[in-house]
Amino acid sequence: MTPSRRLVLVSLLAGLAAPIARAADAPTEISGVRFEPKAQLGGQALVLNGVGLRARSILKGYAAGLYLGRRAGSAAQVVAQDGAKRLQMRMMLDVPVAEFVKAFHKGVDRNTPVEQHASLAERMGQFDAQIQPLGKVKSGDTVNLDYLPNQGLVMSHNGRTIGAPIPGADFYGAILLIFIGDKPVDDKLKLGLLGQPTG
């Protein structure tokens, strides 16, 4: 191959690669809700592992995005992964906090072994006490459930931190399993968060 033809080929390949790179950095959208491809948490760079939608029939409750230090395709890999994590919920419906809390308790009970329930109970109480003063989460609200290794679960509502960190990787893992465990709140949401086709 002559040098001139090699230069043309390299230029063509570079032109093909550029849109791919831009696409990888583009926000991901689901039902009109956009999730950024990257996030910073506790000084750590996170990537969007996947997004999903909590829906029942035609009623859409929220869109969610899972951010991790490195991509993972199974619940076990997500829970075992060290470092910061974020589950971001973008509300698409007004929901009384009482219903929110009820759903979280049900999800933890269904996805964690019975012998762990007692050790999680006090921290679930802390979780309830932190979120109940909100009264209602509204359409358009953003709720972040963050994990910081030296602190635990840090919850925020529309960018405002709610309460003190709730310690324990086991507790954060139990919260994540509500969404990606064996009995998730929504099967398609689980697949989406794990970066799998929801078809």
For the whole model, what pTM was predicted? 0.86
- Grade residue 11 by pLDDT with cuts at 50, 70 and 90: very low
Domain 30-193 part of CATH 3.50.70.10: yes
Report in angstroms the alpha-carbon separations of 73 from 7, 14, 113, 197.
Answer: 39, 30, 22, 11
- pLDDT over threshold 90, residue 9: no
* Residue 62 confidence (pLDDT): 95
- pLDDT over threshold 60, residue 14: no
DSSP, residue by residue, 79-105:
HH--S-EEEEEEESS-EEHHHHHHHHH
